[in-house]
């Protein structure tokens, strides 16, 4: 008797159009996604763009844009040893972090190579949430060996989350009745009743502009989306995808995994991983707090100064230096690094990039070899690069409390 083919479940998803899994907001994002352009982020359908990435990008700079960050991995650390365990794992001093605040962090191997970066939420004295782009549970469990009173759980699917970014984002939240949200300071957490439970709002984001991240029970996700877009029509609300977010984060001076750096546990070739110092993250490496994973190796690297540097570059001309090789010398005789991200910035009105450069060439001059098309013919251009020591985009409203109702 021939075997009977198994039927697909009624809720099966066509992976060509919508990815493998649906986030709690998918019924709304898919309806708005004219392009039906999706990426696979941790097994979930994540919109690349909805209509035009430039329109979505300008919403982050002029009105309000919404990005579904639900596919981000979220982990809960609880117990009397949670603080000590995390303090041993990450490079910042967790003991100094106050309750209801968020801190950017990285964690490294014993060799001082970055495994991943993320945001650490301190919800109580013995309760933390750590959010990162890629799965890290195995490393967290390994890092907890020797700590008796710490529980680690993957809560990624238990929380739906949206990034609400742009100059009218605070005004929109106030219009929704979240009284006092304008007093929320950068990297602070506040809570409001919503739906069947609670809405947690953190003044955080990945655009460098005024913005918030909203954390809610998946059962209340659609209601939250509908409330935002119903009231948000008066505030220029737009959904945004990964392409526009990537533009905004580069202007803001934020690094991206698998773009600026490769996680140390996933690299194949030697020296293709990175240290915090190479990525410009020396400001979050605290050698005063005592031992943490990678401390000895990082201290040696700091003392030697012999490490690559990820530089913010302002490049002459208007042709983005995507995938460019960087050189030293007027005649470009020495290859010294490469561009990781590049774009023409609409708000900065500059040709900007991130470039990873060998230490001894940091002070320049640095040149980028750019290839671009002119009437279908490829043209080679060598452009001078100027090192920029601050984010390309950092408006005052991003830090102002209360922020203006732009």
Question: What is the pLDDT, as a whole number, of residue 271?
Answer: 81
* 50 and 119 share one domain: no
| Alpha-carbon torsion (244, 246, 251, 252), positive or negative | positive
Number of domains in the chain: 3
How would you class 403 by CB atoms within 10 Å of its CB: exposed for 0-12, middle for 13-18, buried for 19 or more?
buried
Report the distance separating Cα 319 and Cα 317, nearest Å.
6
Taking residue 109's Cβ as centre, other Cβ atoms within 10 Å add up to 17
Question: Domain with 359 in it: what CATH number?
Answer: 2.40.30.110
* 171 and 235 share one domain: yes
- Which residues fall within 8 angstroms of residue 61, CB to CB, at 6 or more apart? 166, 167, 209, 248, 346, 347, 393
Q: What is the extent of the structural domain holding 50?
A: 15-70+159-252
Please identify which residue in the block is written with the tokens 């994002």: 29
Is residue 190 domain-resident? yes
Question: What is the pLDDT, as a whole number, of residue 185?
Answer: 98
* 171 and 57 share one domain: yes
Report the distance separating Cα 359 and Cα 328, nearest Å.
12
Report the distance separating Cα 37 and Cα 21, nearest Å.
15
Is residue 319 domain-resident? yes
Tokens coding 65: 């844009």
Question: Domain with 213 in it: what CATH number?
Answer: 3.30.1360.120
How would you class 10 by CB atoms within 10 Å of its CB: exposed for 0-12, middle for 13-18, buried for 19 or more?
exposed
Tokens coding 169: 């984002």
Q: Which residues are annotated as a binding site for substrate?
A: 213
* 232 and 206 share one domain: yes
- Which residues fall within 8 angstroms of residue 146, CB to CB, at 6 or more apart? none
Q: Are strands 237-239 and 64-68 parallel, antiparallel or unpaired?
A: parallel
Question: Domain with 151 in it: what CATH number?
Answer: 3.30.70.1400
Question: What is the pLDDT, as a whole number, of residue 330?
Answer: 72
CA 14 to chain centre: 28
Is residue 46 domain-resident? yes
* 82 and 137 share one domain: yes
* 122 and 223 share one domain: no
CA 222 to chain centre: 23
* 41 and 140 share one domain: no
Report the distance separating Cα 187 and Cα 29, nearest Å.
27
Question: What is the pLDDT, as a whole number, of residue 14?
Answer: 52
pLDDT < 70 stretches in the chain: 1-19
Is residue 294 domain-resident? no
* 237 and 92 share one domain: no
User: Rounded to whole angstroms, what are the CA distances from 362 to 152, 313, 327, 359?
Assistant: 41, 11, 11, 6
Report the distance separating Cα 121 and Cα 189, nearest Å.
8
Q: Which residues are annotated as a binding site?
A: 213
* 57 and 188 share one domain: yes
Tokens coding 297: 């190796």
Is residue 180 domain-resident? yes
Is residue 260 domain-resident? no
* 360 and 374 share one domain: yes
- Whether the CB-CB separation of 401 and 188 falls below 8 Å is answered with no
Report the distance separating Cα 350 and Cα 313, nearest Å.
10
Is residue 395 domain-resident? no
Is residue 402 domain-resident? no
Report the distance separating Cα 101 and Cα 79, nearest Å.
18
Question: What is the pLDDT, as a whole number, of residue 48?
Answer: 97
* 151 and 168 share one domain: no
The pLDDT tens digits for 388-398 are: 999 999 999 99
* 62 and 175 share one domain: yes
Reduce the secondary structure of the chain to three states and give it as a string: CCCCCCCCCCCCCCHHHHCCECCCCHHHHHHHCCCCEEEEECCEEEEEECCCHHHHHHHHHHCEEEEECCCCEEEEEECCCHHHHHHHHECCCHHHCCCCEEEEEEEECCCCCEEEEEEEEEEECCEEEEEECCCCHHHHHHHCCCCCCCEEEECHHHCEEEEEECCCHHHHHHHCCCCCHHHCCCCEEEEEEECCEEEEEECCCCCCCCEEEEEECHHHHHHHHHHHHHHHHHHCEEECCHHHHHHHHHHHCCCCECCCECCCCCCCCCCCCCCCCCCCCHHHCCCCCCCCCCHHHHHHHHHHCCCCEEEEEEECCCCCCCCCEEEECCCCCEEEEEEEEEEEECCCCEEEEEEEECHHHCCCCEEEEEEEEECCEEEEEEEEEEEECCCCCCCHHHCCCCCCCC
> Pick from 104, 139, 157: which residue ends a domain?
157
């Amino acid at each position: 008797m021939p075997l009977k083919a198994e039927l697909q479940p009624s809720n099966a998803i066509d992976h060509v159009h919508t990815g493998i899994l649906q986030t709690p907001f998918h019924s709304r994002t898919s309806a708005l996604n004219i392009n039906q352009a999706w990426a696979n982020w941790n097994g979930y359908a994540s919109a690349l763009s909805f209509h035009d990435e430039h329109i979505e990008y300008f919403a982050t700079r002029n009105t309000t844009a919404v990005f579904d960050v639900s596919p981000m991995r979220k982990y809960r650390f609880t117990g009397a040893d949670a603080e000590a365990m995390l303090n041993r794992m990450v490079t910042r001093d967790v003991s100094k972090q106050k309750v209801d605040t968020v801190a950017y962090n990285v964690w490294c191997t014993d060799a001082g190579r970055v495994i991943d970066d993320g945001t650490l939420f301190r919800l109580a004295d013995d309760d933390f949430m750590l959010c990162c782009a890629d799965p890290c549970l195995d490393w967290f469990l390994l890092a907890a060996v020797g700590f008796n009173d710490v529980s680690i759980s993957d809560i990624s699917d238990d929380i739906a989350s949206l990034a609400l970014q742009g100059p009218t984002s605070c005004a929109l939240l106030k219009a929704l009745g979240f009284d006092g949200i304008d007093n929320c300071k950068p990297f602070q957490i506040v809570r409001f009743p919503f739906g069947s439970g609670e809405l947690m709002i953190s003044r955080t984001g990945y655009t460098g502009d005024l913005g918030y991240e909203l954390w809610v029970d998946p059962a209340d996700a659609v209601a939250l989306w509908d409330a935002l877009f119903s009231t948000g029509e008066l505030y220029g609300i737009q959904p945004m995808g990964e392409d526009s977010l990537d533009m905004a984060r580069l202007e803001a001076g934020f690094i991206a995994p698998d773009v600026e750096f490769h996680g140390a546990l996933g690299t194949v070739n030697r020296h293709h991983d990175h240290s915090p110092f190479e990525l410009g993250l020396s400001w979050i490496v605290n050698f005063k707090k005592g031992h943490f994973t990678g401390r000895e190796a990082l201290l040696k690297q700091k003392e030697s100064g012999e490490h690559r540097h990820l530089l913010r570059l302002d490049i002459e001309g208007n042709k983005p230096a995507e995938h460019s090789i960087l050189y030293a010398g007027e005649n470009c005789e020495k290859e010294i690094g490469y561009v990781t991200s590049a774009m023409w910035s609409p708000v900065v009105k500059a040709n900007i990039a991130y470039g990873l450069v060998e230490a001894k060439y940091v002070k320049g001059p640095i040149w980028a070899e750019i290839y671009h098309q002119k009437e279908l013919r490829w043209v080679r251009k060598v452009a001078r690069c100027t090192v920029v020591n601050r984010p390309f985009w950092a408006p005052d409203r991003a830090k102002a409390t209360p922020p203006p109702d732009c």
